[in-house]
Amino acid sequence: MKRILITGALGQIGSELTLKLREIYGADNVIATDIKKNDSEAAQSGPFEVLDVTDLNRMGEVAQKYKVDTVMHLAALLSATAEARPLFAWNLNMGGLLNALETAKEMKAQFFTPSSIGAFGPTTPKDDTPQDTIMRPTTMYGVNKVAGELLADYYFQKFGVDTRGLRFPGLISYVTPPGGGTTDYAVEIYYEAVKNGRYTSYIDKGTYMDMMYMPDALQAIVDLMEADSTKLIHRNSFNVSAMSFDPEEIAASIAKYIPGFKISYQVDPVRQKIAESWPNSIDSTAAKEEWGFKFDYDLDKMTMDMIEKLRPNMQMRIPG
């Protein structure tokens, strides 16, 4: 990777990935794009172009302007939001992906796009979900992700595009607020813990989902993209995860650092149904064997870092 185009650069992953890649490869070599510009560091610290990913011609113009050799396509509607607007989600998620793949093909560029545990469905094995298994999702987001994995495979096999991807679990970060995902409770809970000392969860107790702290997710992207292409078997859909927990376990972890923290429940039936269709835990063996995937943060280490980073920016109220 020498000159990198990022779509959705101001979103949950993109806002942090843009800065990490600029640190590694140089600010001028990472071109951030999104549907509109804001005053964030990702938008201001290097090249930025306004880009609607459904506009193929515009995407091609930006890629040609900067002579990019890598396309990282992050622009997408997330799970709960996509379920509320399924037609829009299909047009944005699949249309944008197809345009990004076409751009990579024309530029002879390396390509990355994330998949998700949302690609799995209720008939997928729940525990230690294998890398290769049945995938029959029951959400529009999940359908988009399965189709996206297959489309990326097609562009590699048919056109030789060096496509790569990760099946991310829920991603937890103190930098970017939640953006409409089913796993977002695991981000919101930290904000509310620091601010109010309590949290009302829309996901029910006993509901396990895979999670990962954002620093580990960003490093996984870099490691995959720098990996030896000849050693990659799965390419576009590596299972990756750092931990699996339910709301009670994350609440217990928080209570170690914020004594008196309380969790209650007001279950959202839509997001609960989505969560129940996903695995309890996934198997990351293929990622470890094919390109050396590893993670640094477990639940307690992540909790300590999240609280430490959030406290200076929020009014702390002692639980009572």
Q: Could you confirm whether 265 is annotated as catalytic?
A: no
| Residue type (1 letter), 203 | I
Residue 186: how many CA atoms within 13 Å on its side-chain side?
Answer: 30
- Strands of the sheet containing 48-50, edge to edge, are 48-50, 30-34, 4-7, 70-73, 110-112, 163-164
Q: Rounded distance, CA 7 to CA 253, Å?
A: 35
The DSSP 8-state label assigned to residue 204 in this structure reads: P
Catalytic residue among 141, 155, 185, 190: 141
- CA–CA gap between residue 68 and residue 40 (Å, rounded): 23
Helix axis angle for 86-107 and 56-66, nearest 10°, is 40
Task: Please answer whether residues 266 and 200 qualify as being in contact, where contact means their C-beta atoms are separated by less than 8 angstroms.
Answer: yes
Which of helix, strand or coil describes residue 243?
A: strand
Amino acid (one-letter) located at 72: M
d(CA 190, CA 248): 13
Per-residue burial over 239-253, b = 16 or more CB atoms within 10 Å of its CB, e = otherwise: bbbbbbbbbeebbeb
**Which ranges constitute the DSSP H helices of the chain?**
14-25, 41-44, 56-66, 79-84, 86-107, 140-159, 185-196, 214-226, 247-255, 269-276, 285-291, 299-310
Q: How many residues does the chain have?
A: 320
Q: Please check whether residue 173 is in contact with residue 214, taking contact to mean a CB–CB distance below 8 angstroms.
A: yes
The residues that are catalytic are: 141
